[in-house]
Amino acid sequence: MEDLQTEVAVSYLLLQNIGLIMDDNRLEIRTYRSLEELQTIGASWEELLENYPLATTFSTPEWLMSWWRNFGKDQELLVAGFFAESRLVALAPFSLAPIRMAKTISLRQLRLMGDGSNDSDNLDLPVKPGFEDRFASSLLHFLQSEGNSWDFCQLNTLPPQSPGANALRQLLGRKKWLAIEKQRPASVVPLPATWEGYLAQLASEDQKNLARYTRRLEKRYAVQIYRCNAESQLPKCLEALFEHHQARWEAAGEHGSFASQERTDFYYELSRSLLPQGRLDLWVIELDGAVAAAQFGFRYGRQVFQLQEGNNPKHASDRVGFVLRGHVMKQLIAEGVHTYDFLGGELGYKARWGAQAGHYLDLNFARPFTAGAAYLQAHHYAGRSKSWLRCHLPGMAWEMLHKINVGIRRTEKNKPDAQC
């Protein structure tokens, strides 16, 4: 009898593991495949974020829906809402995109809504506290049920402390799915309670320069620094941001972030959504009535996220961006903001403003023994090989190899398709 009970228990666990027996502890799942469907849970979505300690602008309907309208045309929406007693307790905002492997072979990538244009950071899987494990179990069951629609999943720029993502990571390990984790750099400035306390964290030279360059600007020009607080100001502020940002990058031979109409349209739409809520932090400095520098950010709670900026190259010696950021920092501290987030990227110049190095988590996974798993493994080992070569080859040899590789890629890109 004991052997029979053990066999039944093992069989039950195996069947449950592959989803043939429903776990009563799973959450109810509803899917949304269009913005019109997604808008029906707008109020519940906002309520979920109010109860999620790590909520940021990047998880809001304003960000994700604006992003989708401008960048989502080549993808399919696949958002999963997780409900307990008819209350939304978690959200997995996914999208599907085809990845071409060869002329006749393509795979389906599952990723977070908002990923793919290099505009979004801190993308997340918001979960009401206490529901993390049930969410992870329900999510994996959902992904199994949607198995024919995706091959591999890449969840990029997750906050490393994300409860939902961490519960999913642990479950993937127990289920023996292929999971590959990577880190990408980020940085943030913890703001003290007073301006004096913040200044004390800066180098003495920067403390002096903030005062010195501000005085010099005021002697040379009629200076006005302000935050955009009316929709009528948006065209002037945003167009200056686009123009000055592009001028810097084009001078360096690069395209710049605002070379595409999709991105400028996205910034306009996002700004119009965030402005009435008091969540837009678009700051400019005017010299004699003309915008000389602009910094685009937004806030959620007591956090401000700095996304883009542009400084007029004609005023490089005036350090207009430096003066503007100092003014913004002082104002944010006075308003009780406790975090100034520089988002993704190396620490670099941000360290002079008190930024501390951090990171985002990229979580890539696929079902075992699938084409998606093979794809992820191939990319993972290729990346490791590249990192090894960079660390062990002499500098000149690495630069030569890199140039050869770039040349090959350009040749392949410009090569006409072979005729069969």
Domain boundaries, the chain: 17-184+360-380, 192-337
pLDDT at 385: 54
DSSP characters for 166-183?
HHHHHHHHHHT-EEEEEE
Return the axis-axis angle of helices 132-145 and 163-175, rounded to nearest 10°. 60
- Residue whose C-alpha is closest to residue 337's, from 301, 308, 366: 301
Return the axis-axis angle of helices 320-334 and 204-220, rounded to nearest 10°. 110
pLDDT at 11: 45
- Quick one: which H or E segment has residue 271? helix 261-274
| 107, 99 contact by CB (below 8 A) | yes
DSSP strand pairing (339-344 vs 280-287): unpaired
Side chain identity at 343, as an amino acid letter? L
Phi, psi (rounded to 5 degrees) for 35: -65, -35
pLDDT at 4: 42
pLDDT in tens, 61-76: 999 999 999 999 989 9
Side chain identity at 356, as an amino acid letter? Q
In this model, does residue 15 exceed pLDDT 80?
A: no
**CA separation for the pair 277, 415 (Å, rounded):** 50
Phi, psi (rounded to 5 degrees) for 116: 120, -15
DSSP strand pairing (152-158 vs 356-366): antiparallel
- Residue whose C-alpha is closest to residue 186's, from 350, 352, 342: 342
The arrangement of secondary structure in 192-337, i.e. its CATH architecture, is 3-Layer(aba) Sandwich (3.40)
pLDDT in tens, 157-179: 999 999 999 999 999 999 999 99
- Residue whose C-alpha is closest to residue 373's, from 107, 192, 30: 107
Distance spanning both ends of the chain, measured CA to CA = 67
What average pLDDT does this structure show over 21-44? Answer: 88
pLDDT at 404: 44
Domains 17-184+360-380 and 192-337 agree in fold: yes
| 257, 307 contact by CB (below 8 A) | no
Whole-number percent of the chain with pLDDT over 90: 80
Is the domain 17-184+360-380 a CATH 3.40.630.30 member? yes
41's tokens:
């849970």
Listing from the earlier edge strand, what are the strands of the sheet with 339-344? 28-32, 76-84, 87-102, 105-112, 152-158, 356-366, 178-190, 339-344, 303-311, 290-300, 280-287, 223-227
Q: pLDDT-derived band of residue 9, with 50, 70 and 90 as boundaries? A: very low
pLDDT at 49: 98
pLDDT in tens, 305-352: 999 999 999 999 999 999 999 999 999 999 999 999 999 999 999 999
- Residue whose C-alpha is closest to residue 63's, from 110, 125, 123, 128: 123
- Residue whose C-alpha is closest to residue 181's, from 389, 386, 376, 369: 376
pLDDT in tens, 346-383: 999 999 999 999 999 999 999 999 999 999 998 888 76
**CA separation for the pair 237, 168 (Å, rounded):** 42
pLDDT at 25: 84
**CA separation for the pair 112, 79 (Å, rounded):** 9
- Residue whose C-alpha is closest to residue 274's, from 125, 75, 91, 67: 67
Give, as one character, the DSSP assignment of residue 282.
E
pLDDT at 196: 97
In this model, does residue 3 exceed pLDDT 70?
A: no
How much is the pTM?
Answer: 0.85
In this model, does residue 393 exceed pLDDT 80?
A: no
pLDDT at 328: 98
**CA separation for the pair 229, 9 (Å, rounded):** 63
